[in-house]
Amino acid sequence: MSASRIKHKVNHVSLVVDKSGSMRQHEGQLVRVVDEFVKGLQEESDRLGHETRISLYAFDHEVQNLVWDMDVKHLPSLKGLYAVENGATALIESAVKSIDDLKNIWEGYGEHSFLQVVVTDGEENASGYSESGQMHTRMGGSRGKTVLRKWIDRIHGAMDDLPDHWTSAILVPNSLAKRTAQEYGFPAGNIAIWDADSSKGVEEAIGTVKKAATSFLRGREQGVRGTRNLFTMGQDLSTAEVKSTLDALDSGTYVLVPVDEQAPIRDFVTGAGHPYKTGCAFYELSKREKIQGTKQLAVAEKDPATGQMTGKVFSGPAARRLLGLPSSETTVKPGENPSYTVFVQSTSVNRKLVPGTNVLVML
């Protein structure tokens, strides 16, 4: 009598967090951001029946492993594990070490995926300190440039060699750091900006990382083992989840209207022959937006072959959870999904509509 082997999904997550001197004022905020990310992994892993294992690295001018491939359910709070030092920022070296270490994990059985998330408030200035005992920014001249070039080449090599079931992402403090991260090889859709200097920015970062955790694990259910769009929204929507979780709206209760020129949303709706009242119109999510916690969401079905709307729309109280949004305000960027388009409720009469998109009007 033969036995059937259990087929299971295993996720290996590596968190790489900055503990350099500039992080001192952000220490408490970072603990909150990381703890919420871990909580998101725990909750979604339980819901989906995945095994999720986590490693934790902290870095200043040196890189230290704090936790290695532990069941995420058993990871305590970052508080007590993480302490800011007065060191510099070996950003590249920490990312490379995390990738190199994860490559030692055996993948013989089970379906494995790997996710690395780096969190920093600064820029590279010290990779190679462990070898030379000196920051490359203080070496001066050609020697310092040579050391930095070597580490840039190493992270390019590490990123370029990542298999399709690996995802590498990073949270950075500003647009300049985002461009630098792209130069290192992080995909644009896997880079998010966090503002550690304001409570609002920290709340946004929490929303971003929890959504990322949810999106990554849900993508696994659809056979997506790696992504270049971790911090975008809607790319992981599946037909099964949409139709089982959301309500199909009656076709007589709404209309989808194409936008052919820029116009304020109220003028556009009334100009199309429909009465306007606050909250009746939903704009198509087509660019980076801040979405308040009170806004309703809807998704419209598309024909994957043509990209054209089929006319079917789904919505309901569960839409925010399905899209991985918190109940507070958060900033999102739309992801590419061949079957669905996300619409966001507008409570403004002057929102400028984007030509080439659509407006969902509730009648």
Residue that has been written with the tokens 């930095």 in this structure:
148
HEC assignment per residue over 199-225? HHHHHHHHHHHHHHHHHHHHHHHCCCC
Cβ–Cβ < 8 Å for 96, 130: no
Helix axes 27-48, 199-221, angle to 10 degrees: 20
pLDDT digits (tens, 9 = 90+) for 110-159: 899 999 999 998 889 889 887 777 778 777 678 878 888 999 999 999 99
Residue 2: pLDDT band (50, 70, 90) is: low
What pLDDT was estimated at residue 3? Answer: 65
Alpha carbon distances (Å) from 359 to 263, 284, 298: 12, 6, 11
Question: Rounded to whole angstroms, what are the CA distances from 304 to 334, 337, 339?
Answer: 17, 9, 5
Bigger pLDDT: 321 vs 154: 154
Residue 209 makes CB contacts below 8 A (sequence gap 6+) with: 33, 34, 36, 37, 40, 117, 171
For residue 341, what pLDDT band results from cuts at 50, 70 and 90? very high
Q: What is the mean pLDDT of the chain?
A: 90
Cα(first)–Cα(last) distance of the chain, in Å? Answer: 62
Q: Is the pLDDT of residue 239 over 60?
A: yes
- The answer on pLDDT for 200 being more than 80 is no
Q: Which two tokens stand for residue 258?
A: 């194409």
Of 3.30.300.180, 3.40.50.410, 3.40.50.150, 3.40.50.300, the CATH number of 9-230 is: 3.40.50.410
What are the extents of the domains in the chain? Answer: 9-230, 239-362
Structure confidence by residue, pLDDT tens digits, 15-37 = 999 999 989 988 988 898 899 89
Residue 175 burial (10 A CB sphere; 0-12, 13-18, 19+): exposed
Which helix (H) or strand (E) segment holds residue 17: the answer is strand 9-18
pLDDT value at residue 168: 95
